[in-house]
A = this chain, B = another copy of it.
Amino acid sequence: MANPILDKVAIVGYEMTDFGDLYEMGIADMSNMAINGALRKAGVDSNEVDALYVGNAGSGQFLGQEHLGCLIASESGIYTNATSIEASGASGTAAMRIVTHGILSGYMERVVVVGVEKMTSLNKSADTQEALATSLDTIWESSMGATLPGNFALMAKAHMREYGTTREQMAQVAVKNHDHARLNPRAQFSNKLRIESVLNSKVLADPINIFEGCAASDGAAAIVMMAPDVAESYDSEPVFLRQSHQTHDYLSLQQRPNLHELRSVRKGAEMGYKKLNITAKDISFAEVHDVYTIAEILAIEALGLVAPGEGGKATEEGKTSLNGEIPVNTSGGLKARGYPIGASGVAQVIEIMDQFKGNAGERQLKDIEWGLAQSLGGAGGTSVVSFFSR
């Protein structure tokens, strides 16, 4: 890139709906609930908004509804530049990244990003696993029977073989994230999950059990992003997006040199650390893309939060728990806070905002300096790593 120094963009207002089965709300309704909440908290009127970006991965698949930018604009009162951004599970943070360009180019001052997905009330012809598999390579993977959990299962097997990672260590990711979610009133699942329950739950795709994956979920999350000078008059202590790196690996697993690491995530993290002149040791907490338990282990290794191969052990030892050295997914993560796909990246940022703003209640961290959000598209073909600080 020419000049990849992201100066900084402020995040002022933020809001999300509950995540879960929101039967009574359409995708535009839930988007606008989040958007209006975020605008109200920011103190911004909808007619002051320069653009609306929508992170969404599957409304065409799940609902037969594309052209979501215009749909949500129609009902939100935001009429300029309403565009959908799709990068599979990383759609929300990919949209945020694009907004930084709009703001830093001087074209926009106040921009709303909404991430949204509605996965529980499906269009007549929709099938959830088929919809998830559209994030894989149709020709070389999904048409041959590959599924999203199947691909992560291959990665889990590779990690177990390479590093001796155990089923118990993977299961512990789910246990920890449920423990965190119990402290998050917004989480979809607030039940205590015992490791035996995870290990004895049905096989989803060996070695991944069903309690190691996310449930289909509805929900929306919105933030208001602003130029730093504009933000000053809305928030005397704003939180800033300081760097955001979108990187890629081959879409289909067969093309990758190995399956036990997320190369896309490592590349993005390294780019960010270098630009910010920090290291992984400076990260105070992280929200990572635990779409399956193995994905969290792969993520914390690729981000450098633990050494390669140490992700399972670190989880087992509590290093990534709320009171551990590097708390990961204090929100409950995709696993327990919930995973409406397109909403996910923005929801990660909302947890980061809650932590920086002291709004995290019983899961509040102390003395935090750097927060990190990591989202994944498909089985790691796309990664967005974003860095936040005051």
Contacts and interface: CB of A to CB of B under 8 A. Distances in A.
Contacts of A94: 83
A43 interface: no
A257 to B, nearest CB: 14
B1 A107 contact: yes
Contact of A88 (B26, B67, B230): B67
A324 B123 CA distance: 48
Given A81-B246, A86-B67, A251-B70, A105 B108 contact: no
A227 interface: yes
A250 B78 CA distance: 11
A302 interface: no
Interface in A1-40: 1-4, 6, 26
Interface in A189-235: 227, 230
Contacts of A61: 60, 66
A26 B139 contact: yes
Contacts of A73: 248, 251
B382 A79 contact: no
A251 B74 contact: yes
Interface string A325-341: 00000000000000000
The size bracket of the interface on A is 35 or more
Contacts of A382: 67, 69-70, 82
Interface in A47-94: 50-51, 57-58, 60-61, 63-71, 73-74, 79-88, 94
B67 A134 contact: yes
Given A138-B63, A255-B74, A50 B2 contact: yes
Interface stretch (A96-104, A165-173, A305-313): A96-104
A264 B109 CA distance: 22
B1 A135 contact: no
Nearest to A134: B66
Interface in A242-258: 246-248, 250-252, 255
A378 interface: yes
B79 A247 contact: yes
Given A134-B60, A246-B83, A248-B79, A3 B88 contact: no
A137 interface: yes
A125 interface: yes
Contacts of A133: 64
A81 to B, nearest CB: 5
Contacts of A103: 105
Contacts of A138: 63-65, 123
Nearest to A66: B134
A387 to B, nearest CB: 16
A2 B230 CA distance: 10
A270 interface: no
A80 to B, nearest CB: 7
Contacts of A50: 1-2
A120 interface: no
Contact of A86 (B64, B84, B101, B248): B84
Contact of A85 (B84, B109, B123): B84
A80 B247 contact: yes
Nearest to A95: B83
